[in-house]
Structure 1
Amino acid sequence: MTILGVLGGSGVYDIAGLENPTWRRVASPFGETSDEFLFGTLDGLEVVFVPRHGRGHRHSPSSINYRANIDALKRSGVTDLLSMSACGSLCEDLPPGHFVLVDQFVDRTIARPSSFFGEGMVAHVSMAHPTCDRLSNIAYQCAVEAAIPVRRKGTYLAIEGPQFSSLAESRIYRSWGCDVIGMTNMPEAKLAREAEMCFLTVAMVTDFDCWHPDHAHVQVADVIRVLNENAEKAKQLIRLLAPRLRDDRPTPCPHGCDRTLDVALVTAPGARDPKVLAGLDAIAGRVLG
């Protein structure tokens, strides 16, 4: 059965049209989540929504407890996870209002725990293909149907923040071939991979990054307007996704998203720390037994 998780970024603080919506806290051994989670159904599909920054936008990108959020989503039964994320554009042909279905990441974050594993239980998952093609294909079809300007693939550059990049940095990131820039999708993508979820980032462009010659002339009101417009598009996209995901859940995932830990565990059974294993019951219970 499919249960859809949605991580809402700047401007996306709820999901319109949920039936029987209920906010409740989900406990995690990794600490407090960003907020209570919103549970409900959408066109027959169970949905769990997380306001990534908390309602009222209380958490900065560096203070979000990413591990608690992903662990609690796994404990809630989530199988498919959409990360709806505001971002800046590094490409002339990705103006504000465009969506990018991210398929690659470059991680420049430095201050965030990026794994559920570590001393006492070591694991190395592959990040070669960090997003789910099945989710991406469905999201692309829905975006086209909704007349949302969308790019099928793209590379997301994650910076630590909360400051935006310098002009020199922005130019370097463009030279690397990155398409969009943001602050929250790492370590989300890595953690979702370890949690064996089908994962997709929908990057929603609000502005050109500072490399663009017109960047200095952008008004805050313009960014907020695009942010709100993107939020409405995001809610429309989720409404269109729901019935397709409800009716299309191949098991196992044809791209291996739900089996990433099969060849990832390194620590020998006799050397594994029982205290560490206890906290991994949701994330890695399938392979730890």
Structure 2
Amino acid sequence: MKWVCLVLLALLLSPPLAHAQRGAKNQAALVKEGERLYSARRYREAADTLKKAYEASPDPRILYNIARAYEQVGDLRESMNHYNQFISTSSGETDPLLVKRAHSAVERLRLLIDKEEQQQVAVDAERKRLQDEADAARKQAEAEQETARRAEENSQRQQQAEYQRAQNSYRRTRLAAFVLGGVSVASVGTGILFGLQARDARKKFDAATQLEDKESAADSTRGKALVADTGFGVGLAAAIGAIILYPKEGPPAQGEVRMTVAPQGLGAGMEVSF
């Protein structure tokens, strides 16, 4: 019975011992691979390999080497974390020189990290300043574009109003010319009619044998001749006015500027349409 108990105890103890031996063997291989990668300057891969070695069999010295590998990579925070972990897990058996170097490395890395953070703050501030300037410039450009758009719309409205005024002026001037032309035709027609009547009255005057008839014919001749002359004069004046007022060109087009004769012949004027 006693012999059976000893065998069972050996069976219970043997697996952990074998596992520990395998872990130590695996750790040694991983540490050697980590050293090879470190020598090849493949620092991040070396750090990952040494982490696996530490998991296989924790050893504070491995943490120190992991910290060194991260420092070579430039991952200052991860390096400082592993230096601190090495310091906290060190015991009296740990090489004091490594502990001292770890403390020095922590202080050095802290200064570098502080400097890096200050530089990052400066970079962020400069980036924000540039972004603010870009936003201000963009807003100013948008405001200028809006101002230009409104100015363009206002200019177009003014041009349209000027164009409409020019069109109305053209129509009024043309209508006035037509009216004067009509007056001219009517006046000349009246002058011709009364001129013919004056000629008939003159014939009656020449044919009359009595004084009373001659005086009556003379008065009729003078009256009709006066009306005929007046009609011809008004017709001529109206014709001249119509010629002066009638537009020499077609209706104004947008953006067109041309010289025109001022109304009633008083010099030259400029007609502008937009």
TM-score where L is the length of structure 2:
0.19
Structure (1/2) with the larger strand percentage: 1
* Larger relative contact order, structure 1 or 2 (CA cutoff 8 Å, min sep 6): 1
Q: Which has the larger radius of gyration?
A: 2
Answer 1 or 2: which has greater helix percent.
2
